[in-house]
Structure 1
């Protein structure tokens, strides 16, 4: 491994475990991390010997969202948007299981929602702080979150920036299971192994049917969100100020738990 390895890939039989490897920044999505993750996802999805992708974060965090320090240096202009790692995960034909340990916040929450389903540890925390930063979501959050937990709960999360814990996420149907942090990868591989035991052509056909149902339910919402995001902009000073407030908001909420 070199310092530029912001994404690690480990293969176990027909399972590829892809790990965001920027733990010092809670795996925040810098441009370079986004690029490397997108490339590794494409490689795994294109590999005919990979039947399941596990997506995880290193160092006790899943993903803290877009790198606000990097964003604050440039500001935000939605009209220069290109395909990102969230889009690529959502487009995978290979099943993607998210393994969420620690925070999955804003862009990290979008990344989690782009997975086919989630397994979480007791330390998992989910929050949408787009409104606090001052940037409209662009990774499909409004559509996928409403589809997953219902529009009323989605409205509440996006308006308040409220963090929800793993038991709440399980009760709301956001995650499928909660297991101890030390067991998270093992449980992911166990599930992936059962997928690999299925007749592959049949499973691909069944999975494509579920993908079609999901697309039917959220495609218009994703398109509307992207159109709004493309018209949005935020000055670097505003992003910097909001970013500091968002970090303190997160610390305060998690201290209360």
Structure 2
């Protein structure tokens, strides 16, 4: 009797953080339909559970992700999820912070998965690249759109037009990474960062993300109008009262997300 294949995406709860691991090391964690479905389910788990405050996304076997599984694509499999983009992540509407912990290669769609996260922790010897132009394509999972928003135009265009990769330390110099670690230490660093985020008010974290998204490309007037609505909702929440009370009483806040 054959052994059924292992699930290509694993989750582990560590305190208030959900560690999500792409687990196809034999394929350098390339994204096929099963990985996209598994990552979608993991992200739904993160969003649905109020006890979870943040997520960390990484890859097994010393590689983050080699991007789209080309062999699966030739067979007709799609690495996209309707309404949620590549891997079920790049166009997904998420409220909770997600941190990429990048070891080894983050190429093509793998880089785009990292760009779709809110923070990036990279190993110094990791490799980031968008080589799609070498194959007659463009980085359509968010690379062409997001990269010029994150780093200066000419630097973004160099990566997009040459298709050549950069290492983790250079990625940090460009402003793509929040932390740089030695190889093998990104998950530990990302979990510590997630714990710090998880100590803050969950409604406020979600509001920050919504305002940042709404302000992108909007006029100041429209951005501030949207922000006023978010502030009104926060000011009416129990968590704001708890935050002020906890500050006055010099104790940690006990957030309820209400």
Report the counterpart of residue 207 of structure 1 in structure 2.
209
Q: Distance in 2 between matches of 1:61 and 1:145?
A: 21
| 1:1-257 alignment, distance < 5 Å | 3-74=5-76, 83-86=84-87, 88=89, 90-214=92-216, 216=218
Aligned 8 A contact 2:39 2:89 in 1:
no
Gaps of 5+ in 1: 218-257
Report SS of the residue matched to 2:52: coil
Gaps of 5+ in 2: 220-258
How far 1:12 sits from its partner (Å)? 0.9
1:81/1:189 Cα in 2 relative to 1: closer, same or farther (>3 Å)? Answer: closer
Q: CA RMSD in A?
A: 2.5
Q: Distance in 1 between matches of 2:118 and 2:178?
A: 10
How far 1:188 sits from its partner (Å)? 1.1
Report SS of the residue matched to 2:99: strand
TM-score, L = length of structure 1: 0.76
1:82/1:195 Cα in 2 relative to 1: closer, same or farther (>3 Å)? Answer: closer
Alignment length (residue pairs): 215
Instruction: Indicate the larger mover: 154-163 or 206-215.
Output: 206-215
Misfit runs of 4+, over 6 Å: none
State the Cα deviation string for residues 53-98 of structure 1 (Å, max 9, x = none): 100000010000101122234499x9x9763355535521110100
Question: Taking CA–CA contacts closer than 8 Å with sequence separation of 6 or more, which of the two structures ends up with the larger relative contact order?
Answer: 1
Give the number of the structure whose alpha-carbon radius of gyration is greater: 2
Q: Distance in 2 between matches of 1:110 and 1:104?
A: 8
